[in-house]
Amino acid sequence: MKKKIFGILLLSIFAVTTVSAVLVSYLSNSIEMNFNVDAPLSLVEIETDFTSIDVAGSDDFALIKLVNNDNQPVTGDFVMTVSPDAEGVYIALTEDINYCFSDQGDKTGVTNCEIDYMTWMQQNIDWNDWYADGEYNETRYPSPYVVNTGGDSFNSAGGYVGNTLTFPDLTIPEGETVYAVMYVATSKYLQPGAYTITAQMI
């Protein structure tokens, strides 16, 4: 009788050991899966160096390009940060340059909207709605191409928070490319030095 029980115990231990060995073997096998992620939105530099801003009180324009790489609309805040200090730096944006890319407006002398965007801007001044760091003021935004047409085409984004200016809730349709013209003016009392404007979509 004892031999029989001993034999059963041996079989039980062997069975447990066998099951454990199978589990270890199963868990020791693995596979590795990799994937690469690109940003859904690309911010492309077209012309972003303000070469005409060389002394305090001067101003200039730049063209920026946003590409939606996703298969759905992308909505976010367009944020601009001025360093080392935003005091005396005034920014305004218009997205109406996209009319040029859809062959609308006066395109005399315009063969490539990415190159000739300022020609289109000069010939279609009243087409542009502006969004800026403050309310319209000719002294603050002195360019003859940045105007408040009809008294309702210039909008404040609410001003800087620290050195950051936010244009909220910008939506780029799926697979689309949109452009914006950025205008930067400076106060004649601007502290001399090197300034950087960083733009990002968040």
DSSP letters spanning 154-172:
EEE----BTTEEEEEEEEE
Tell me how far the alpha carbon of residue 30 is from its chain's centroid. 39
3-class secondary structure, 70: coil
34 domain residue, yes or no: no
Is residue 114 domain-resident? yes
- Specify if 58 maps to a domain: yes
Element (H, E) at 82: strand 74-83
Query: Whole-model pTM above 0.95?
Result: no
Q: How many residues does the chain have?
A: 202
Q: How far apart are CA 190 and CA 104, in angstroms?
A: 38
Distances (CA, A) of 32 to 25, 35, 127, 189: 17, 10, 55, 60
Find the domain containing 123 and state its range: 41-190+197-201
pLDDT attached to residue 38:
64
Residue 30: inside a domain, yes or no?
no
Establish if 70 belongs to a structural domain: yes
Contact 62, 184 (CB under 8 A): yes
Neighbours of 49 (CB within 10 A): 9
In a domain, 6, yes or no: no
CA distances from 81 to 91, 167, 191, 196, 197 (A): 11, 11, 17, 8, 6
- Does 16 reside within a domain? no
The answer to whether residues 147 and 125 touch, using CB atoms and an 8 Å cutoff, is yes
Give the span between the Cα atoms of 172 and 175, in whole angstroms: 8
Structure tokens at 6: 């001993």
| pLDDT, position 9 | 36
Over the chain (202 residues), the average pLDDT of each successive run of 10 is: 42 41 54 68 69 92 91 91 95 97 98 97 97 96 96 95 94 92 95 91 86
Q: What is the pLDDT of residue 37?
A: 62
Q: What pLDDT was estimated at residue 14?
A: 40
What are φ and ψ of residue 128, in 5° steps?
Answer: -100, 125
Task: Calculate the CA 26 to chain-centre distance.
Answer: 47
Domain count, the chain: 1
Q: Note whether residue 50 is domain-resident.
A: yes
pLDDT of residue 26: 52
